[in-house]
Amino acid sequence: MKPFIVPKDATSWVEVAPGSDFPIQNLPFAVVDHKGRGEGMVCAIGDFALDLTYLYEEGFIDEEEFPWLDSMAALDREMMTELRSRIFTLLSAENSELRDNAKHRKRALLPLAGLAFQVPIPPTTFVDFYSGIHHASNVGRMFRPDQPPLLPNYRHVPIGYNGRASSVVATGTNIIRPKGQTKAPDAEGPSFGPTAEMDFELEMGFYIGHGQEMGKRITCKAAEEHILGMVIVNDWSARDVQRWEYQPLGPFLSKSFATSVSPWLVTLDALEPFRIEGMEQDPEVLHHIRRQGQQHFDINLEVWLQSAKMKKPQRICVSNAKHLYWSMSQQLAHQTSNGTPVEFGDLYASGTISGPEEGSFGSMLELTWRGSKPLTLEETGETRTFLEDGDVLTMKAFAESDGLRIGFGACSGKILPAN
């Protein structure tokens, strides 16, 4: 399938500020709840959201081509490509169809500030991988100091686990500090109570557009045909709960309480100019999960933290999706290599994306090295080893080159005290 790439010099009749996440070259999709109109699908342009449901009802979008636009439930990647093409036409500076119709233009363009964003697609399944090699190495150094940082299988197979789809929430959702069972090193037995090591995990995720039936697999070469688009993911973690419960089967209550996702589904077509080869994979992986061309993306990642006492957030991490050892295509090819069925709306997360330097670590666990190097908040002088009640954690992602910026918006959550 040929991608639809908006020309770099294309402009819109909607004013778009320099450095905006949402130029006409992006055109990502979201589902919002708008006062007076209910829930519907929108597309971002500058500081506005184009109401696709309204345009559909007024005949600007063909109902035969796109029979359902209240949600993304009927879209696959090919239909999304066609829809972006139609939206580009409507928003192009040269096109007067909507530009010169004051009534419809006013109704169709909604200020972003007034919208309540939903989870782009409520996932049927949530899978979290462990594909950030620097994060995996850091965790190995912390918890297995007398052994090699990476376990023997890491460079041969994408490691992952099945998460909890029902606790995937939209950006802006408050996160209640979870309770769980923990055991202090010097305690005789475990105790139950609020986590003392609340953490974030900086990740990217992708949604499945059309799936594959049980017993069949998706190849690395064909994987992107099944990927609808990408989002930011924060897989919140309770580290002390995780440390006690994860052996031998892996995380359970320590991660199932909440996973935040950003609202905008950014298409692979929009990210096409930012494809890269990715990290060298050594040793060469088995044929069925071997990379096929440039299947990684150069996407800048940032994490911002604001305490209840601060007036503005402080950036605490700068990383990049290029630090992923395994690509989305390899993750999906591996998931289906045993015949696992996948369905529309399945959400897959990358795992924590840390860079090689301290300022690029994608979790508090690493940034403070298990609490041994507290993080100082410059505005107030407060320190953090892990997240505290009242803290607001915001993740941002954007691909940028030669004046072109394709952004994902933000993924935020505020920590509330345990119930």
Q: Do residues 138 and 79 touch, judged by C-beta distance below 8 A?
A: no
What are the tokens at 6?
Answer: 């908006």
SS3 assignment for 235-256: CCEEHHHHHHHCCCCCCCHHHH
Catalytic residue among 134, 135, 296, 334: 135
How far is the C-alpha of 27 from the C-alpha of 6, rounded, in Å? 9
What are the tokens at 297?
Answer: 């993306």
What are the tokens at 356?
Answer: 């090689």
Rg from Cα positions in the chain: 22
Catalytic residue check, 135: yes
Q: Could you tell me the maximum CA-CA distance found in the chain, to the nearest angstrom?
A: 74
| Count of other CB atoms within 10 angstroms of residue 241 | 27
Phi/psi-derived region of residue 409, left when phi > 0, alpha when psi is between -120 and 50, beta in every other case: left
How far is the C-alpha of 37 from the C-alpha of 250, rounded, in Å? 43
Closest CA to 349 of 207, 189, 194: 207
How far is the C-alpha of 403 from the C-alpha of 16, rounded, in Å? 13
How far is the C-alpha of 374 from the C-alpha of 172, rounded, in Å? 26
How far is the C-alpha of 307 from the C-alpha of 320, rounded, in Å? 25
How far is the C-alpha of 9 from the C-alpha of 23, rounded, in Å? 11
> Which residues are designated catalytic?
135
